[in-house]
Amino acid sequence: MFSLTEARTVNWDTGPSEQTMASWLKKLFGSPSVPPPAATPAPSPTPRPAAPASAIREPAPTTPGGPPTERSHLALLAKFKHGSDPASAAQDYWANVLPDTVPNTLALFRRNGWLVDAPWQQVFATQHRVDELKPLLNERGLKVSGKKDELVERLIAADPEAMRLRVAGVKAWILSALAECPVDNYLARERDAEAVAQSTAMDSLRAGNLDAAVSTIVAFERTRLFPRGIGIDWHGEGIGRHLAERARNILKASPGILRDVPEHELALLRPVAAMLELTGESRAKAWLPPGLVGHPRLDVETVVRMLLFHGSNMATLEGMRANGHKKVEVSGGGDSCPACSAMDGKKFALSKAPELPHPGCTHAMGCRCLYQAVFEE
């Protein structure tokens, strides 16, 4: 089985090639059907039209087949892990990765015994949020504290018929025992692949090798069924350069708002902020080094976010400059501190744009001001 230990025996000075990433995925998924990412930009597949919910027909029961193995099948089956309405699978993006239409694929799942009707108790749990369960508990004089599963169990035990009637007629399918283990294994392999890529990229950033980190992330995204980001062409020739430029701004960031953070700590946190830029993650906790003193007023997560915002705002200004904009407007949040509120809505010449994050910001979450281009008539 592929492991993080195995990955760390490789020389990562130059980052893994796309062929190496494809080899990892072959090990992780055990299927030669996953192609290596293309070295040149690949044309987007022509999407099949999304099937309306009414087109999904439940086939007649048949003898269960073997367990699912096709990667896109496992990904779609994972959506039914906790029970789901089959109509919710009729989305355009599935048509781009499945070997057949969504209705036919769901029919196959039912014929093979991979999806079965969800019990009403499971349907009740998936159809109700916590804020919907608590009034039901109050009405029956029951405790409202605890996790969602506990609230559901409490209601079903106290008034099973009323809870059953609340979801009568609601259709939901759930994984059968035949599909549950393969789907769990698939999800674990997906997490392993992402963990290896992120760990490798983080090691490269800490070693000062930005190009290797970018190469790792791009190669990984090219192996995913659904690469992250809307409108990002991960097979495009310029994607690596674009990511590297944005991350480079972060790696040299020294925003005034963080003037009270020791430089040696900023040096440790810049690669973490760059990692957020490369991966699209919103939290830095997994990569934070221990024992940081940080900022007297801002927690370490916020310090990382200020580094990220500074680099992002610098990239925004560079983009405006490249597009010929002459002026910029500062947009602050609704609950900004006095310093940021005073600057909200003000326009500046691009060459005189104030630093963001605002060095004088006193908000506990840090500065969230943004640059907006001013379009002159």
Per-residue pLDDT tens digits for 88-128 = 887 778 988 999 999 999 999 999 999 999 998 988 888 89
pLDDT digits over 288-343, tens only? 999 888 888 999 999 999 999 999 999 999 999 999 999 999 998 778 899 999 99
pLDDT digits over 166-221, tens only? 988 888 999 999 999 999 999 999 999 999 999 999 999 999 999 999 999 999 99
For residues 347-366, average pLDDT? 93
Residue 260 pLDDT: 94
Provide the percentage of residues in the chain whose pLDDT is more than 90. 70
Q: Are 253 and 311 in contact (CB under 8 A)?
A: yes
Look up the pTM and report it. Answer: 0.75
Q: Is the pLDDT higher at 53 or at 80?
A: 80
Q: How many C-beta atoms surround the C-beta of residue 57 within 10 A? A: 11
Residue 38 pLDDT: 39
Residue 156 pLDDT: 92
